[in-house]
Structure 1
Amino acid sequence: MQCKLGRPSFPRRALGTRFLPITKSVPKELLPILDRPMLQYVVEEAAEAGIEEVIIVTARGKESIAAYFQPRPELEARLADTGATDLLKMVKYVSGLADVSFVIQDEPLGLGHAVLTAKEKVGEEPFVVILPDDIVDHQPGVIAQMLEVANRHEAATVAVEQVPWEIVHNYGVVDVEPTVNSGTHLVRHLVEKPERSEAPSNLSIVGRYILPPQIFQCLEHTPPGAKGEIQLTDGIQLLLERQDVYAYEFHGTRYDGGTPLGLLRASLEFGLAREDMADSVRALLDSLQPNN
């Protein structure tokens, strides 16, 4: 499978209930890590890997996501008139990251259903799936790393990382053959959120996938599981009956942007890594006193 550099989709995974009440009016994907929303970080990761077209699978009522990536001529003109050249550059940068389009998932029927919703826009070529609340800090990004694996083996590839056994039930996990090479494994089986006693490994699936177009037919034949949802993990299990799938242990630090503490941790550590913020963040942390 020679993966072309185009057409990733960024499916929404949940209703943002962990961030209520703010997600009543602000999409979870636009919650910030410092001065950029989560979604921008993953679009930047895709663009860094050479991807030029982005399809965002979202829900009705999230028009602000579309607006974020569209040009704002009035704002740009005002910034130019006031001489705010640095801010103008930042605004133009966002709208120029990729060709961004949207499809609507009318009901939250699972990640597999979200991917299937993008079938017509994706077409008959390999594509990337990124979950925007999995933020990974590394250069090169996870997608660039995975493209090398997918193109080398001409096969679907999923990103994985080892998690503590006591939380393995929160993730989809993979059962793998002995290591192909450092960090790359041939997948034998995938299980969605197994109990610890039934988990084949502690290699959990992270929100990065490179998939062939055949996955759509597999998803169309994937029966709904718990809560009537179609799981992408189950669809990939059907794909395994037709072709190889590889698991790749990526390089980088993953932040769980789906939880308030994960988002806070990402903001603090990203701030400490930025030259323009590091001193201020350290001073802020030093000023915090534990409750007595």
Structure 2
Amino acid sequence: MPKIKKAIIPAAGLGTRFLPATKTVPKEMLTIVDAPIILYVVEEAVKAGIEDIVLIAGRGKHAIEDFFDTSYELEDKLAKDGKDKLLERVTRIRDKANIISIRQKHALGLGHAVLCGLPIIGKEPFAVLLGDEITMEANGEPNVTEQLVKSFEQTSISTISVMKVADKDVSKYGIAEVQEKSPGFFKVTSLVEKPKPSETTSRWALPGRYVFDNAIMDILLNAKSTLNGEIQLTDSMKLLCQLQGLNAMTFTADRYDAGDKLGYLQANIELALKNPELGPELSAYIKELVKRF
């Protein structure tokens, strides 16, 4: 039975510019409550049993690589700033996983970013977690990547997560066209990248969690650039579902698009409400704030 022990986390886009205007900060390093976005993503992978995590880093992403390096300067700063819990989280990740960084020299799309991980992935199956998407387990269920790993290890068929979106949001995502096998579990029949709502009847979007058989790498090696001159992962997934089959499944986790301004704010608020130190005071503040509207 195939085991998933490796994952690729693409963090390959240019950094997002925030104040002060002279400093560029990778969006994956922006803080959600008390930790950078990328740490939540890596923690999800580790909880799913991943041992080798390949960060695909583009220009301006040195901060991500440095964060996971053993660094006296970083650890000393976290300790002096009183961020002992964050230091413990980073140290725990270092103890449980190998963090490997590969540079994506040219921003040629998500498919190309995944292909950049080939030297580490080799011939093994692997997971992909987008570096600015956070999913947090809910209702006592395993996290999204754990669920995908379990499905793959049971079926040996590549499996992706999907979520239902409104008509107005269809063009923001890759969309999976599916046939339901059982409640919340589907056979993927085709995929289309960021279609207009009129171009597909499906409303099942790809929120950035995948587990692939290694055959996807062979497909990506021969992939051509399409939309915006990029190698689209959805194009190769479409071919994969024709050649080997591709499953999709829904999830019960809370999901935040932390690379989006509104999603970033929502993640901070909701995760802060769950934080025992911040939750009660923030909840009281929100209740008072609502009264003003």
TM-score by length of 2: 0.89
Instruction: Give a deviation string over 1:116-142, Cα, whole Å, max 9, x none.
Output: 111111100000010021111214210
SS of match in other structure, 1:191: strand
* 1:26 alignment counterpart: 25
Q: Give the aligned residue type for 1:109.
A: L
Residue 86 of structure 1 deviates from its aligned partner by 5.3
Residue 195 of structure 1 deviates from its aligned partner by 1.1
Which residues in structure 2 correspond to 1:96-107 (within 5 Å)?
A: 96-107=95-106
Residue 283 of structure 1 deviates from its aligned partner by 3.3
CA contact (8 A) 2:14 2:59 kept: no
- Give me the whole-angstrom Cα distance separating, in 2, the residues matched to 1:249 and 1:22: 40
CA contact (8 A) 2:32 2:268 kept: yes
* 1:53 alignment counterpart: 52
SS of match in other structure, 2:182: coil
Residue 276 of structure 1 deviates from its aligned partner by 1.6
Residue 87 of structure 1 deviates from its aligned partner by 6.3
Q: Could you tell me which runs of 5 or more consecutive residues in structure 1 were left unpaired when the two chains were aligned.
A: none
* 2:271 alignment counterpart: 270
Q: Give the aligned residue type for 2:34.
A: D
SS of match in other structure, 1:43: helix
Q: Give the aligned residue type for 2:256.
A: Y
Which residues in structure 2 correspond to 1:94-173 (within 5 Å)?
A: 94-138=93-137, 139-173=141-175
Q: Give the aligned residue type for 1:227.
A: N
Instruction: Give a deviation string over 1:160-192, Cα, whole Å, max 9, x none.
Output: 000002211111111112x21221101111111
Instruction: Give a deviation string over 1:41-60, Cα, whole Å, max 9, x none.
Output: 11110110111110000113
SS of match in other structure, 2:169: helix
CA contact (8 A) 2:13 2:59 kept: no
Q: Give the aligned residue type for 2:217.
A: F
Q: Which moved more, 1:191-200 or 1:50-59?
A: 191-200
Q: Which moved more, 1:206-215 or 1:69-78?
A: 69-78
SS of match in other structure, 2:161: strand
* 2:207 alignment counterpart: 206
SS of match in other structure, 2:162: strand
Q: Give the aligned residue type for 1:132.
A: G
**Alpha-carbon spacing, 1:60–1:75, altered in 2? closer, same or farther (3 Å):** closer
**Alpha-carbon spacing, 1:161–1:3, altered in 2? closer, same or farther (3 Å):** farther
**Alpha-carbon spacing, 1:79–1:123, altered in 2? closer, same or farther (3 Å):** closer
**Alpha-carbon spacing, 1:109–1:91, altered in 2? closer, same or farther (3 Å):** closer
Q: Give the aligned residue type for 2:70.
A: P
SS of match in other structure, 1:241: helix
CA contact (8 A) 1:173 1:204 kept: yes
**Alpha-carbon spacing, 1:289–1:245, altered in 2? closer, same or farther (3 Å):** closer
- Give me the whole-angstrom Cα distance separating, in 2, the residues matched to 1:133 and 1:89: 22
Q: Which moved more, 1:191-200 or 1:279-288?
A: 279-288
TM-score by length of 1: 0.89
Q: Could you tell me which runs of 5 or more consecutive residues in structure 2 were left unpaired when the two chains were aligned.
A: none
**Alpha-carbon spacing, 1:161–1:64, altered in 2? closer, same or farther (3 Å):** same
